[in-house]
Amino acid sequence: MSDSGFVLRRSLLYVPGNMPSMLQNVPVFDCDAVFIDLEDAVPLNEKDAARNLVSRFIATYTERNKEVFVRINALDTEWGLDDLKKVLPSLPDGIRLPKADTPEIVERLDTLLTEMEEALEVEIGTFKIIPSIESALGVINSIKIARCSSRVIALAFGAEDYTASMEIERTKSGEELFHSRARVLWAAKAAGIQVIDTIFADVGDMESFRTEVALVKNLGFTGKSLVNPRQIDVVHEVFAPQANEIVYAQQVIEAIIQARKMGTGVIALNGKMVDAPVVKRAARVIKTAVSQGLLEYELDDEVIYGAK
Amino acid sequence: MVQNSLGRWIPQQFNGRACRPYCDPFSVQPNVQRASRALRRVNPGQSKLVSNLIDAVIASGLKDGMCISTHHHLRNGDALLNNVVRVIDTLGIRDITIASSSVHPVHAELIPYIHSGVIRGFECGVNGLIGELASKGEIHCPITVRTHGGRARAMMSGELKVDVAFIAAPCCDLYGNMNGCSGPSACGSLGYAYPDADYAHCVIAVTDNLQPYPVTPISIAQTQVDYVVEVERLGDPQKIVSTTTRITSDPIGLMIAKHAAEVIEAAGLLKDGFSFQTGSGGTSLAVADNVRKKMLAAGVKGSFGSGGITSYFVDMLEHGLFNTLFDVQCFDLEAVRSIARNPNHLEISSDMYANPFNGGGVVNQLDAVILGATEVDVDFNVNVNTESNGYLLHNTGGHSDTAAGAKLSIITVPSIRGRLPIVRDAVTTVTTPGETVDVIVTERGIAVNDNRPELKQELLKRKLPVKDIRQLQQEIVALTGQPKAVEFEDDVIAVIEYRDGTIIDAVRRVKD
């Protein structure tokens, strides 16, 4: 599997796992991924029913036009393991793991997923993991968590539970999250994986939402968890590359194509060196632009990584 | 029974009138003179004021078997039609036909008078309980559903003869000059009442805001009015106009709206001179909002907005995005305020708005219209009259008129309602023929009529989610399953008249 950095994950929408009327619309929304929720959105007396519903839904959603992650209940609850057993045979893309406070918790999930993959006879590594960093302990351990399994494709910061663990209020301006966001970002970037910011709960306040999306994009987050489909467009607008970025990215790709023809992976463009990190960055800009209809461009993985 | 060109079985006669089967949207030609009424003379010193509704009905000469009308600008706040029927009953008059411009749920109060024989039928569409009970066979009263333009046509051609028109006049002087701009029952435009003022044999202005002579501006003039009567109230102001009309917050509605606006743009219509109409529903308003943003971004200056007018269109007029609003009905208080003060916000009659048999209606000049549906089918036929349960619940309004007139008619509709698929093999009732419908926008895809291949190509080029209508239907039915068909008896409870007076469909009694 190639570097997951090239799968766009800007907009990741939570969908309650106990609501058929909302699940049926999953194929319709133009977010990059969904988190189908079996955890907080589902009342205790509906855990079983939601598990069945979600499993059936994913199994019938064969023409996938976005990634499907399931937020299971934490593995130390009575539901977590059953969630996995029920939904994995329907082949979601991965699991969003709540309360991933330590690398051991994530490693345990990794082991369970491997066992399930063997039982289901699917390729090892099929199921990805997005750990939720949502406590002081999780923030401290995020550096290890980001590197504890090759299944971990992104860290997802969860500010609601984090602020609760800190015994503080969450504000719209978010100063109280600055340090934790920065640490989660470092952890993910150092591990070469994606990093997804927390939800913004006030669906009516699109202006503050837009401000927050712009902030986290500038900090380095690659995407954002969303609570309402109305938030998708704003994320895509803020994450849209500028025209000059697109032009430069195309120049980088053209340059690296020339370089590969010459049998090298490094080349100069306008006096600056173009190497793997620059190419990856350009590829991300181009994929984002293409997905938003700003550009028509076929980008082959071989161009990014070189022929094997 | 005869079959019309859409394969719908229609009766040869309905409510004493021969039914001409629908054949196509544009070829039927009028072959009669304009209807007329007797001249009248009001001499100097003669008062038009009568003391109450009873005296007004007596003065009008209303008799058994005659036809009366009201307008529906007071919408679900209207008290006049119920009061008039009560008076008619008190006077012992029977077998009255109601030919109002529309009937609303508030008029469920009329049901006892249908049972008792005061009312014998409706020469107009009905919203709400009356249609439902007729569909169930619990009341017996033939209903002829007309479009807004079709009603004006029927009155002008003499096909629909109104003996006495009771015109609710929110602001009215002693001599019958009136407008809808002020007073406790202010409703703005009186557009649907114009044909009544022109063609009814007797015209009674009813007001709860009697003013000294003369009232200005004049919407309906003294020369058309026989009597003026003052009542305590015309209706419930809370229900006459919405204080605000709002954009939907439903993500599905917003997605449909976004696509609809993109279709208008792709059709190449968003250029100077653009003309546009939407309804007042949350999704329609969201389309208007998207179109507004696109017009601003592209620096487009439109020509006119038309139809029922909302605050969103007023805002577009005031920001120079339209030169003119053609207003046949005000949907909210902001529209009422605007029509009273802005000379470019014009009140127009239903004749000028949508009549197919005149020198050309406003609808013929429309670039794009956004319309709703209760169901659509794979032939692009649209139903707005009956629901999937078969009950007649809605009037047509200007649906078929604007669909026929506009260069681009777009139906915005969710793919699933109440677990039922909305794209059917054949709609329960055809209101608007598929030939006049260009695009159906749902959250699961956009279907383009085969008669617009160039538009389909353009939408595909722009990577919009275009789907064949049958593919779209299959995707929806895969989720919902195929619902059990509603079964009907043979007896026809209503006919759906197309705008040209031909019968496009018949509504039958639902089997128990």
pLDDT, one tens digit per residue, over B394-404 is 999 999 999 99
Instruction: Fill in the amino acid letter for A222.
Output: T
Do A113 and A143 fall within a single domain?
yes
Residue (of B444, B449, B479, B470) closest to B381 by Cα position: B449
Instruction: Fill in the amino acid letter for A65.
Output: N
Domain boundary among A239, A258, A287: A239
Cβ contact, residue pair A293, B249, below 8 Å: no
* CA distance to partner chain A, nearest, from residue B185 (Å): 34
Using the predicted structure, report yes or no on whether residue A307 has a pLDDT greater than 80. Answer: no
Residue (of B222, B296, B301, B284) closest to B411 by Cα position: B284
Do A60 and A193 fall within a single domain?
yes
**Could you say which of A28, A228, A293 has the minimum Cβ distance to residue B255?**
A28
| DSSP label at residue B235 | B
Looking at residue B280, its pLDDT comes to: 83
Q: Say how far apart CA A234 and CA A210 lie, in whole Å.
A: 6
pLDDT, one tens digit per residue, over A69-104 is 999 999 999 999 999 999 999 999 999 999 999 999
* CA distance to partner chain A, nearest, from residue B472 (Å): 12
Least confident of A123-127, A142-146, B418-422, B494-498: B418-422
Do A234 and A128 fall within a single domain?
yes
Question: pLDDT-derived band of residue B115, with 50, 70 and 90 as boundaries?
Answer: very high
Instruction: Fill in the amino acid letter for B336.
Output: V
**Could you say which of B416, B463, B479 has the minimum Cβ distance to residue A293?**
B463
Residue (of B40, B56, B100) closest to B207 by Cα position: B56
| DSSP label at residue B435 | G
Do A301 and A183 fall within a single domain?
no
Do A143 and A289 fall within a single domain?
no
CA distances from B332 to A253, B106, B251, B311, B439 (A): 55, 19, 24, 7, 28
Q: Say how far apart CA A235 and CA A225 lie, in whole Å.
A: 10
Q: Say how far apart CA B115 and CA B117 lie, in whole Å.
A: 6
Return contacts of B336-339, CB within 8 angstroms, 24+ apart: B336/B180, B336/B181, B336/B186, B336/B187, B336/B188, B336/B241, B338/B309, B338/B314, B339/B180, B339/B181, B339/B188, B339/B189, B339/B309
Instruction: Fill in the amino acid letter for A228.
Output: N
Q: For chain A, how many helices (H) and strands (E)?
A: 12, 10
Cβ contact, residue pair A25, B462, below 8 Å: no
Q: Say how far apart CA A180 and CA A164 lie, in whole Å.
A: 13
Q: Say how far apart CA B497 and CA B504 lie, in whole Å.
A: 6
CATH of the domain at A162: 3.20.20.60
Do A301 and A189 fall within a single domain?
no
* CA distance to partner chain A, nearest, from residue B396 (Å): 30
Residues in chain B: 512
Number of folded domains in chain A?
2
Q: Say how far apart CA B293 and CA B315 lie, in whole Å.
A: 12
Question: pLDDT-derived band of residue B243, with 50, 70 and 90 as boundaries?
Answer: low
Using the predicted structure, report yes or no on whether residue A4 has a pLDDT greater than 50. Answer: no
Least confident of A288-292, B13-17, B304-308: A288-292
Residue (of A209, A259, A256, A257) closest to A235 by Cα position: A209
Which residues of A, range 229-248, sit inside 8 Å of B by Cβ? 229-230, 233
Strand pairing of B423-424 and B375-377?
A: parallel
Q: Say how far apart CA B102 and CA B98 lie, in whole Å.
A: 10
Q: What is the DSSP string of B33-87?
A: PPP--------TT---EESSHHHHHHHHT--TT-EEE---TTGGGB-HHHHHHHH
Do A115 and A214 fall within a single domain?
yes
Host domain of residue A270: 243-305
Q: Is A63 on the interface with B (CB under 8 A)?
A: no
Residue (of B487, B328, B294, B319) closest to B397 by Cα position: B328
Domain boundary among A239, A267, A284: A239
Report the percent of chain A where pLDDT is more than 70.
98
- With beta carbons under 8 A apart, name residues in chain A contacting B249: 230
Do A158 and A221 fall within a single domain?
yes
Mean per-residue pLDDT over chain B, rounded: 96
pLDDT, one tens digit per residue, over A108-157 is 999 999 999 999 999 999 999 999 999 999 999 999 999 999 999 999 99
Domains, chain B, ranges and CATH? 251-488 (3.40.1080.10)
* CA distance to partner chain A, nearest, from residue B427 (Å): 24
Do A58 and A187 fall within a single domain?
yes
- Taking the mean position of all CA atoms in its chain, how far away is CA B138? 26
Q: Say how far apart CA B267 and CA B246 lie, in whole Å.
A: 27
Cβ contact, residue pair A25, B252, below 8 Å: yes
Cβ contact, residue pair B255, A24, below 8 Å: no
Mean pLDDT of B181-207: 97
Cβ contact, residue pair A228, B251, below 8 Å: yes
Mean pLDDT of A252-258: 89
Looking at residue B324, its pLDDT comes to: 98
Using the predicted structure, report yes or no on whether residue B290 has a pLDDT greater than 80. Answer: yes
Looking at residue B390, its pLDDT comes to: 95
Do A254 and A228 fall within a single domain?
no
Cβ contact, residue pair A24, B479, below 8 Å: yes
Domain boundary among A192, A216, A239: A239
- Taking the mean position of all CA atoms in its chain, how far away is CA A32? 9
- With beta carbons under 8 A apart, name residues in chain A contacting B416: 24
Hey, what are B164's tokens? 């006495």
Do A224 and A254 fall within a single domain?
no
Looking at residue A191, its pLDDT comes to: 96
- Peptide linkage before B214 cis (omega within 30 of 0): yes
Three-state secondary structure of B182-221? CCCCCCCCCHHHHHHHHHCCEEEEEECCEECCCCCCCCEC
> In angstroms, how far apart are the furthest CA atoms of chain A?
64
> In angstroms, how far apart are the furthest CA atoms of chain B?
74
SS3 at position B507: strand
Hey, what are B116's tokens? 């008792």
Question: pLDDT-derived band of residue A298, with 50, 70 and 90 as boundaries?
Answer: confident
Looking at residue A308, its pLDDT comes to: 62
Using the predicted structure, report yes or no on whether residue B451 has a pLDDT greater than 90. Answer: yes
Using the predicted structure, report yes or no on whether residue A6 has a pLDDT greater than 80. Answer: no
CB B196 within 8 A of CB B178: no
Do A136 and A24 fall within a single domain?
yes
